[in-house]
Chain A
């Protein structure tokens, strides 16, 4: 039992749930306390101790029955032969004789209502390569393959013929219906058994899987070399980093408060102590930046922009106001998409609206859009951030607008994944760079985190 629980825990970990050592120890003491006689109590004691996030509940609900069974054995219809009259049995045997040898064996097997034995299951598993699979999304597919290996589709066809044969032989239609139902029930039972088995096996493989590559490696891997699976891990990591940054920035902003003494406020606060200055009041110097961020979300830059946006919106409390824009060939205002709490969904909806196609990335035109509608967003408190590689497909870079923008904004920061020695060809970076307060190279997550920190450190 213990090893089974441990397997469940490592399968949870492999599915991306964070389970600490303390929590697994807690799970064992909870199980000790509640006992394992009552399945429901057992399930709840594990769930309350291991899962601490609503989003992880479905993962647990999926994995738990795979390790500890569904609670009931698959429903089998039972042996058909038990309730057939001798004449009927004779008729059935005659009808079966019309079939090929292979099909007949399978059909008889189904009528007997026996479950598959362990060794039969193992053999099937080897046949379809189940032992190499460690992804629960493959469960249905694997189960289908095993059923096909059992010739289920053919048997279904044959079942229809068999029923017709019996009808011709003069069996009453109710009896035929009963026999058909019985066989179908047995088929469903087997399907359930196989489904459960594949699930269990995949879950076991999952728990044997070595833990995914450490996050540290991912942090330093360039954006363009990341896969979709890595992306998920990184999104989590962004959240964690954002939380760390938030605390740090909040502390910094709090410290900034204790700058200059505020005599008026101090006198007022200490009136109750006879004017003895017990509590000192300081001028509030906190200045949360306003941010306007313009992101290139063409295919080459999408990843970087996406992570940058999730960062900014995770840091919302530390920033007075964020206005976000995205562009490929024209500019779109995307802040509204972030009104909900979930940044992942917001980004997905933005990307849905601006699908990547064979656009010509055109920053110049996008800047023109900005000038026409949003220029008043830039003022003495705004930090302007551009995320992009500055590759403009030889379109007009509109340096005139950009210089106006950077003059209006208090700071202009450009985050570019390319280092300066790659700024040639259609890159307009050499022209834009002198107009920026700062150009930071951001080609992986740790550089991005450093850049965001820098950004909010004023």
Chain B
């Protein structure tokens, strides 16, 4: 397996090859995570490309991406494995004749039970094991990228269970024994910070905070993903979105929404961002009525004097 992640620079170029524009910081931390074999915990507002990052890593390394979406009430049988009862039942029905053959010759009840016990393994084998994402990531013959999304939505008990998987990369199935990973998967966890994760889980991960991008970075993303939009319009659009983010909103527009909007502008063949176009397309960007009203009010007022743009790292110190 060739690994394109041999240095920070190569991580950067490999991710860029997947149409993902990484900051220096992101590339360094991704490189560290893969060198140390640690899960990567990414946090940040919704829609800044946390999931995209995992996809890009999978694409860049040529690994399969296995996704596990967390939700309240997610448990081991949904995340790890489950015995396929109905299939087992079906098999016993269909194999009834064979079973009769095997058991029929038994002289006594205990002998029959012994014979049955000898065949037990047939029914508790990989054949009847329904692999869920975690087990699949561990059992896969090729190294994989395991994406565990929105871990903050899962219950605390599930988080505790996950810790075992993430630190040792092995799971115990009572009927089969302990299954260790053939290849350590590259694990990416995402969290929207809706609740505090446990210290123990955080301790096992490297931490990456992805914030809204700077104007230039976002412009680069738009240019890359929506190449049809003319450059002047793209800059105007991104500047507008950045301005929206500085105001208090119930939900600030994310990068994915900027991209949707850019696509909408292309589709409508917009020449300029004027009031008319905005009225028509703003709902792509803002998803709450109150936010829409606010943005429209703000549009009427002149733009604020241009403020100095924070540098690459300055933006973290602000919040």
Binding site for B on A (CB under 8 A): 18, 20, 22-23, 26, 29-30, 33-34, 40-41, 44-45, 47-49, 51-54, 57-58, 61, 239, 243, 246-247, 250-251, 272-274, 276, 278, 341
Residues of B within 8 Å of A, CB-based: how many?
35
Contact A44–B316 (Cβ < 8 Å):
no
With beta carbons under 8 angstroms apart, the residue of A30, A246, A250, A251 that contacts B32 is A30
B41 close to A (CB within 8 Å)? yes
Most chain B CB atoms below 10 A, which of A48, A239, A243: A48
Contact B196–A40 (Cβ < 8 Å):
no
B124 close to A (CB within 8 Å)? no
The residue of chain B having its C-beta at the shortest distance from the C-beta of A49 within the complex is B206
Contact B196–A243 (Cβ < 8 Å):
yes
CA distance A58 to B317 in the complex (A): 5
Contact B317–A250 (Cβ < 8 Å):
no
Q: State whether A20 and B199 are in contact (beta carbons under 8 Å apart), knowing that A54-B209, A54-B319, A341-B194 are contacts in the complex.
A: yes
Q: State whether A23 and B203 are in contact (beta carbons under 8 Å apart), knowing that A41-B8, A44-B28, A273-B86 are contacts in the complex.
A: yes
CA distance A362 to B89 in the complex (A): 70
Within 8 A of A (CB), among B190-212: 193-194, 196, 198-199, 202-209
**Distance (whole angstroms) from the CB of A310 to the closest CB of chain B:** 13
Contact with A along B1-25 (1 / 0, CB 8 A): 0000000100000000000000011
Can you list 16 A-B pairs, Cβ within 8 angstroms, ordered by A?
A: A20-B199, A22-B204, A23-B203, A33-B32, A33-B35, A34-B32, A44-B28, A48-B32, A48-B206, A51-B207, A243-B198, A250-B156, A250-B157, A273-B86, A276-B89, A278-B85
B155 close to A (CB within 8 Å)? yes
Contact B157–A247 (Cβ < 8 Å):
yes
**Distance (whole angstroms) from the CB of A209 to the closest CB of chain B:** 22
- Extra contacts, 6 of them, besides A30-B32, A44-B32, A61-B316 (Cβ < 8 A), are A41-B28, A49-B32, A52-B199, A239-B196, A247-B156, A250-B155
Within 8 A of A (CB), among B70-99: 85-86, 89
Q: State whether A246 and B193 are in contact (beta carbons under 8 Å apart), knowing that A34-B32, A278-B85 are contacts in the complex.
A: no
Contact B36–A54 (Cβ < 8 Å):
no
Contact A273–B202 (Cβ < 8 Å):
no
With beta carbons under 8 angstroms apart, the residue of A243, A251, A273 that contacts B85 is A273
The residue of chain A having its C-beta at the shortest distance from the C-beta of B199 within the complex is A18
B43 close to A (CB within 8 Å)? yes
CA distance A41 to B207 in the complex (A): 15
Contact A57–B209 (Cβ < 8 Å):
yes
Contact with A along B149-168 (1 / 0, CB 8 A): 00000011100000000000
Contact A45–B28 (Cβ < 8 Å):
yes
CA distance A274 to B89 in the complex (A): 9
Residues in B whose Cβ lies below 8 Å from that of A273 = 85-86, 89
The residue of chain B having its C-beta at the shortest distance from the C-beta of A21 within the complex is B203
With beta carbons under 8 angstroms apart, the residue of B28, B86, B193 that contacts A272 is B86
Binding site for A on B (CB under 8 A): 8, 24-25, 28-29, 32-33, 35-36, 38, 41, 43, 85-86, 89, 155-157, 193-194, 196, 198-199, 202-209, 313, 316-317, 319
**Distance (whole angstroms) from the CB of A32 to the closest CB of chain B:** 10
With beta carbons under 8 angstroms apart, the residue of B28, B43, B313 that contacts A34 is B28
Contact A54–B43 (Cβ < 8 Å):
yes
Chain A at the B interface: SS class: helix
Contact B43–A20 (Cβ < 8 Å):
no
The residue of chain A having its C-beta at the shortest distance from the C-beta of B44 within the complex is A54
**Distance (whole angstroms) from the CB of B9 to the closest CB of chain A:** 11
Contact B316–A57 (Cβ < 8 Å):
yes
Contact B36–A26 (Cβ < 8 Å):
yes
Q: Which 4 A-B pairs have the closest CB atoms?
A: A52-B202, A44-B28, A48-B206, A52-B207
CA distance A239 to B28 in the complex (A): 32
CA distance A366 to B25 in the complex (A): 55
CA distance A34 to B24 in the complex (A): 14
Most chain B CB atoms below 10 A, which of A34, A40, A44, A61: A44
**Distance (whole angstroms) from the CB of A40 to the closest CB of chain B:** 7
Q: State whether A30 and B36 are in contact (beta carbons under 8 Å apart), knowing that A40-B24, A44-B25, A247-B157 are contacts in the complex.
A: yes
Residues in B whose Cβ lies below 8 Å from that of A51 = 207
**Distance (whole angstroms) from the CB of B183 to the closest CB of chain A:** 20
Contact A44–B196 (Cβ < 8 Å):
no
CA distance A173 to B193 in the complex (A): 60
CA distance A96 to B211 in the complex (A): 54
Contact B196–A52 (Cβ < 8 Å):
no
CA distance A29 to B32 in the complex (A): 10
CA distance A22 to B208 in the complex (A): 18
Contact B86–A52 (Cβ < 8 Å):
no
CA distance A51 to B207 in the complex (A): 7
Contact A29–B207 (Cβ < 8 Å):
no
Contact A44–B193 (Cβ < 8 Å):
no
CA distance A346 to B49 in the complex (A): 30
The residue of chain B having its C-beta at the shortest distance from the C-beta of A278 within the complex is B85
**Distance (whole angstroms) from the CB of B319 to the closest CB of chain A:** 7
CA distance A336 to B316 in the complex (A): 30
Residues in B whose Cβ lies below 8 Å from that of A274 = 89
Residues in A whose Cβ lies below 8 Å from that of B313 = 61
CA distance A239 to B43 in the complex (A): 20
**Distance (whole angstroms) from the CB of B274 to the closest CB of chain A:** 35
Contact B316–A20 (Cβ < 8 Å):
no
**Distance (whole angstroms) from the CB of B8 to the closest CB of chain A:** 7
Contact B8–A20 (Cβ < 8 Å):
no
Most chain A CB atoms below 10 A, which of B8, B155, B202, B207: B207
CA distance A23 to B317 in the complex (A): 22
Q: State whether A54 and B193 are in contact (beta carbons under 8 Å apart), knowing that A30-B36, A44-B25, A246-B156 are contacts in the complex.
A: yes
Residues in A whose Cβ lies below 8 Å from that of B43 = 54
Residues in B whose Cβ lies below 8 Å from that of A58 = 316-317, 319
Q: State whether A20 and B203 are in contact (beta carbons under 8 Å apart), knowing that A61-B316, A61-B317, A278-B85 are contacts in the complex.
A: yes
**Distance (whole angstroms) from the CB of B108 to the closest CB of chain A:** 27
Most chain B CB atoms below 10 A, which of A49, A272, A276: A49
Contact B86–A33 (Cβ < 8 Å):
no
Residues in B whose Cβ lies below 8 Å from that of A251 = 157
Residues in B whose Cβ lies below 8 Å from that of A272 = 86
CA distance A49 to B33 in the complex (A): 10
The residue of chain B having its C-beta at the shortest distance from the C-beta of A18 within the complex is B199
**Distance (whole angstroms) from the CB of A226 to the closest CB of chain B:** 23
CA distance A45 to B29 in the complex (A): 7
Contact B208–A48 (Cβ < 8 Å):
yes
The residue of chain A having its C-beta at the shortest distance from the C-beta of B207 within the complex is A52
The residue of chain A having its C-beta at the shortest distance from the C-beta of B85 within the complex is A278
With beta carbons under 8 angstroms apart, the residue of B28, B38, B156, B196 that contacts A26 is B38
Residues in B whose Cβ lies below 8 Å from that of A278 = 85
Residues in B whose Cβ lies below 8 Å from that of A341 = 194
CA distance A341 to B203 in the complex (A): 24
CA distance A30 to B43 in the complex (A): 20
Residues in B whose Cβ lies below 8 Å from that of A53 = 202, 207
Residues in A whose Cβ lies below 8 Å from that of B196 = 239, 243
